[in-house]
Amino acid sequence: MSKSNEQKSNGDPHRLQPGRPVTLSDFSTRGRDFCDDQDAAEAEFVDLRQELIELQRRLYAEGKRKLLIVLQAMDAGGKDGTIRHVFCGVNPQGVRVTSFKQPSEIELAHDFLWRIHQAVPQAGMIGIFNRSHYEDVLVVRVENIVPEDVWQQRFEHINNFERHLSDSGTTILKFFLHISKDEQEERFNDRLSEPDKRWKFSEQDLVKRRHWDLYVPAYEDVLTRCTTRWAPWFIIPADQKWYRNLAITRVMVETLRTMNPQFPSPQIDTMPGDLD
């Protein structure tokens, strides 16, 4: 059995198991290994998204628990597209997206989790992190922004922080959108050739692409050291957007089904017709 197959033992095929070393080349970037019928996948996705809309209404109405979705990927990995497609139709009042960019001066004057903690979802909400505290052991490591002894400690800090959130009623799902280097090239070329996408391309994208081979072990460390019972990572094959959308929605819907949020009981015993 390949390493990626070993990892597939617990329910979802993309969910990693704590304590098992991750080698990204063992994981396909194409969903075809799991499902090759795009039409069927798109139909299932639409049904599941409808269910997500219903489940989110209940989570919001119940107002007790929280769901945190963490999205990480190489550049052009599809974080924005995932948010646009998967959450299309979900009541915006119950969802908060936070995109973590280069830290501001005031953010840098605090510990690395300070800005993250302020963005975690409150009761009844789904919080989506477009990039996250993982940048502090990814870009920060690859670009030598802080010394190694500083970022090395952060894996433990992150696990403890996520444990704290989990113990405080937050369900955490972390998705690594796994694309190939060739797919990234195609997407960058698209960005460069289409006027309405060109603005998205930056110098940083070029620098990071040159450092692709440094990001791979950095991601492998993240996926190996920060996969926990309380905050699992999923490696989502993301070269095909239709597969990525389906796989992520499936995990979210299954998680919310298990959480089974309930509409609260009515606050007063009034029925239609009782009004003056």
Binding site for ligand ATP (CB under 6 A): 75, 79-80, 100-103, 130-131, 135-136, 139-140, 145, 200, 202, 204
Q: What is the DSSP letter of 266?
A: P
Least Å distance between CB 140 and ligand ATP?
Answer: 5
> What single DSSP character describes residue 15?
B
Smallest distance from the beta carbon of 118 to ligand ATP, in angstroms?
14
Q: Which is nearer to ligand ATP, 119 or 145 (CB)?
A: 145
Q: Which is nearer to ligand ATP, 71 or 125 (CB)?
A: 71
Shortest approach of ligand ATP to residue 31 CB, angstroms?
20
Residue with smaller CB distance to ligand ATP, 4 or 132: 132
| Nearest distance, CB of residue 112 and ligand ATP, angstroms | 7
Q: Which residue lies nearer to ligand ATP by CB, 19 or 195?
A: 195
- Shortest distance, position 123 Cβ to ligand ATP, whole Å: 27
- Please, which residue, 109 or 271, has the CB nearer to ligand ATP? 109
Cα→Cα distances 55→43, 87, 174, 202, Å: 19, 12, 19, 37
Give every CB contact of residue 269 below 8 A, 6+ residues apart in sequence. Answer: none
Residue nearer to ligand ATP on the CB measure, 35 or 145: 145
Which residue, 100 or 242, is less far from ligand ATP as judged by CB? 100
Least Å distance, CB 101 to ligand ATP, is: 4
Q: What is the DSSP string of 117-162?
A: HHHS--TT-EEEEES-GGGGGTHHHHTT-S-HHHHHHHHHHHHHHH
- The edge-to-edge listing of strands for the beta sheet with 233-237 is 95-99, 126-130, 66-73, 170-178, 233-237
**CA 180 to CA 97: how far, in whole Å?**
26
Using CA atoms, how far apart are residues 167 and 65, in angstroms rounded to an integer?
Answer: 11
The CB density around residue 123, as the number of other CB atoms within 10 Å, is 14
Beta bridge partners of 70: 129, 174
List beta partners, residue 234.
15, 175
Length of the chain: 276
Residue nearest to ligand ATP (CB): 135
In angstroms, give the least distance from the CB of 131 to ligand ATP: 5
Q: Whole-angstrom Cα distance, residue 15 to residue 251? A: 9
